[in-house]
Structure 1
Amino acid sequence: MNGSTMHLPIAELHLHLEGTLEPEFILEAAARNGVELPWTSLADLRSRYDFTDLQSFLDLLYTNLEVLQTSRDFEQMTRDYLRRASAGGVRHAEVSFDAQAHLLRGIPLEVVLTGIHAALDAGESEFGITSKLIVSFWRDRPASEAVEILQGLIDSDARIDGIGLDSAEVGYPPALFVELYDLARSHGLHVVAHAGEEGPAQNVADSLDLLKVERIDHGNNCLDDERLVARMVAERVPMTVCPLSNVRLRTIDTLARHPLPVMLEKGLFISINSDDPAYFGGYADANVAAVTEQFALDDATLELLARNSVDASFLDAAGKARLHGEIDDWVRSR
C-alpha cells in the first residue's frame, strides 16, 4: 500500500434509513415536531445504545422514529445518510424503509416517499451516489397486512424498486410470506429478505426456495449447513454481511469471532454493509475499516468485496461498469 487516502468505492446494499437517525437529529426533530421522548438529553439517549439482542435495539429504534412526521424529516434523514455515505466511499446505495413503521403511527406512505425521493433524486448530483429504494415489511406483523400495503403501492404506481423482510426473525419463517413475494415478482420488483441473522440456516434455504429472493440480508447462519453453503457458492447467492451490527446485537460475541474469514475462505458471495449505522457504531467505511484491521485483509480481498457489492446490486450493466471503473482507479492508487 502507498498510504492513499482514497476510500474504497462500494455499493451499500443493506441499509435501513430509519437506522441512520443520529441522536442529534432525533432530539432536533422531536423539538421541531413537538414529539415527547423518554429522553431529553444527548447523554441520556446515547446511554441507551448498549443492546442485549435484536429486540432491545428494535424497542429503541421504534421509539426514536416517532420524530419522523413530515416529508421534510424523511428528506433530511435520507440526505444526511447520503452525505455521510458518500464521504466514506459509497457510490451506489440500495436503501430500505419500513412501511409499517410509519403507517401504523398514522404517517401516509406518500409523505414518506415524497421526502425520501426528494433526497435520492438529488443524490447523484449532490453526492455522487446513485440509488434504488426497497420497501421492507415487518415479519412479526400479519402477512396479509404486508400484501395489502404492497398492493396499494403498486396500484398507486409508487416509485419502489423492490421489497424486503426484516424485524424479528425467530418464529416468523419465510413460508408466511410466499403470497407477498409472488405479488412483488409478478410486478417486476426485486426481492430480498433478512434470513439467518437470528434464525436458522433453514430460513436462508426457504428464502431462496419459497420466496425466490435475489439476495440474502445477513445470512450468517447458513454456515451451519454445509450443503447450503455449497449451493450458495455454486449459485453465487449474494449475502449482505453487517459485521458491526452482528457484534452490537450480540449475535456474535466479538468482532474477532466474526465468521467473515470463513465466508471468504468458502467462497461465499459477500459484501460489507452497515445495516443501522447510527445505532451500531459505524457506516459502511467503518465496517470495512474494522474488518480490515481485525483480520488483516489485503488489498486483493478488499477489491473482491467491493466488486462483489457492485455485482450483487440491482444496477444495470452500464452502472456496474461505471463502478468497476472506480474500483480500478482505487486499485491503481494503492
Structure 2
Amino acid sequence: MTNSHQTDLIARLPKAELHLHIEGSFEPELMMALAARNKIDLPFKTLEDAKAAYNFSNLQEFLDLYYQGMQVLRTEEDFFDLTLAYLQRAKADNVRHVEMFYDPQAHTERGVPFGVVTDGILAAIRKGEQELGISSYLIMSFLRHLSEEDGFDLLVESERWHDKFVGVGLDSSEVGHPPLKFERLYQRCAEIGFKLCMHAGEEGPPSYVREALLDIGVDRIDHGNRCMEDPELVSIIRDMQVPLTNCPLSNLSLCVIDDLKKSPVKAQLEQGLLVTVNSDDPAYFGGYIGRNYEKTAEALDLSNDQLIQLARNSFTGSFLPEAAIKAHLASIDESIA
C-alpha cells in the first residue's frame, strides 16, 4: 500500500490528464440510465451484469464492449452528461486540466451526427471550466482500423469545428495498422495547425513508435511502452523530450503487462523521459487518475520526488500555453511547500 503520507501527497498535487477517452469514462450506472432514457436494449439486464462485462483479457475484447456501450449515446444531452460526469470525477482527484480524446467515427457510423456528439461534449467542457475550474482541450481521434480515406472524410465533416480542437489522435486496434498508414492524413492535419498525437507501442512494436515520432513527426506519443525495447529510440525520445502518456491500470487490464511492477513508468523517469500517468478508459480499467498514481507508486516504490515529477510532467507535456504551464507548476510548488 502507498503510505498515508504518499496518498495525501497524491491527493494534494495538482494534475493534468493527457490520455483520457471520454467514451471510456462511461460508468455502468450511467450506461444503464441512458439506455433506459433512450429506450435501448442492452445485452445486460442488471447493473451487476454490466459490471461483470467490464472484465476482458485483451485490447480487442475491451474494444468490442467499448463500442457496444456507445450504442446508448444518442443525444447531445447524453454526451453532455457523460463528459460532465467525468469532469466531476476528475475534480475529486485534483485534476486542473484535461486533454480528452473522443471518437466521432464510432458515433457517425451508427447515425449520430457529428455536431450532436461534439456540441454535447463542448457544452460540458464549458460548464466544467465555469463551475469546476477545470480547463479542457478536445482531441479528435481517428479510428486506425478504418481507412485513411475515412479519416480524410472526417476531416472535411468536422471543418466547422476545427477551431474547437487542439489536435488529432489515432486510436483503436493497433497491430496491423502502423502510423505510416495515415501519413498523408497527418501531413494535412499538421498543415491545418493541429497538434499531433498517436497511440503507439501499446501492443504494436517499437517500430510503430519510431514511425510516429520520426516519420510522422507527432508532438506526443500515447502509451509508448515498447520504446523501452529500443535503447537508441529511448535516447531520441529523451533528447527530444517528447511526452509519453502512460496508462498503468489500463496496461494491466489489457494484459499489456501482467503485473503493475512491470510498468515502465519508473524506468522512464529514471532515464529522463517526459513520462506522465493517466487513466485512459477509467470506467473500464479500474481507476481514475488518483488511483493510477497510488497503485503505480505502490507497485514501483516511487519516491515522493518521483510523484511530484509525474505531476510536473503532466503540465509540461500538455498543449497549454507556456504561461499557463508556469502557473500550474507554481501551484504544484505551493501544494508541497
Which residue of 268, 274, 279 corresponds with 2:284?
279
**SS of corresponding position for 1:13:** strand
Give the Å deviation of 1:2: 9.0
Which residue of 312, 316, 323 corresponds with 1:318?
323
Is 1:154 matched with 2:154? no
Give the Å deviation of 1:124: 1.9
Answer whether contact 1:147 1:179 (CA < 8 A) is retained: no
Pairwise CA RMSD of aligned residues?
Answer: 1.4
Aligned residue number for residue 331 of structure 1: 336
Distance in 2 of aligned mates of 1:161 and 1:135 = 8
4+ runs deviating over 3 angstroms: 1-6, 155-158
TM-score (norm 2): 0.96
Give the Å deviation of 1:42: 0.8
Is 1:140 matched with 2:138? no
Q: Deviations over 1:64-100 (max 9, x none)?
A: 1111000000000000000000110110000010011
Which residue of 83, 86, 103 corresponds with 2:91?
86
Give the Å deviation of 1:158: 5.5
TM-score (norm 1): 0.97
Is 1:121 matched with 2:123? no
Q: Which runs of 5+ in 2 are unaligned?
A: none
Aligned residue number for residue 52 of structure 1: 57
Is 1:76 matched with 2:81? yes
Aligned pairs for 1:229-240 (under 5 A) are 229-240=234-245
Answer whether contact 1:13 1:240 (CA < 8 A) is retained: yes
Distance in 1 of aligned mates of 2:265 and 2:101 = 24
Distance in 2 of aligned mates of 1:158 and 1:331 = 36
Give the Å deviation of 1:287: 0.2
Give the Å deviation of 1:3: 7.8
Aligned residue number for residue 264 of structure 2: 259
Give the Å deviation of 1:51: 1.2
Q: Which runs of 5+ in 1 are unaligned?
A: none
Q: Which moved more, 1:294-303 or 1:306-315?
A: 294-303
Give the Å deviation of 1:294: 1.7
Aligned residue number for residue 15 of structure 1: 20
Give the Å deviation of 1:263: 1.4
Which residue of 63, 80, 83 corresponds with 2:68?
63
Give the residue type in structure 2 aligned to 1:251: V
Is 1:217 matched with 2:222? yes
Aligned-residue identity in percent: 44
Give the residue type in structure 2 aligned to 1:213: V
CA gap 1:127/1:254 in 2 versus in 1, 3 angstroms: same
Q: Deviations over 1:208-242 (max 9, x none)?
A: 12221100000000011110001101111110000
CA gap 1:85/1:2 in 2 versus in 1, 3 angstroms: closer
Give the Å deviation of 1:151: 2.2
CA gap 1:44/1:320 in 2 versus in 1, 3 angstroms: same
Distance in 1 of aligned mates of 2:6 and 2:56 = 38
Give the Å deviation of 1:164: 0.2
Aligned pairs for 1:292-307 (under 5 A) are 292-307=297-312
Distance in 1 of aligned mates of 2:193 and 2:227 = 27
Answer whether contact 2:187 2:216 (CA < 8 A) is retained: yes
Give the residue type in structure 2 aligned to 1:47: A
Give the Å deviation of 1:123: 1.3
CA gap 1:254/1:156 in 2 versus in 1, 3 angstroms: closer
**SS of corresponding position for 1:280:** coil
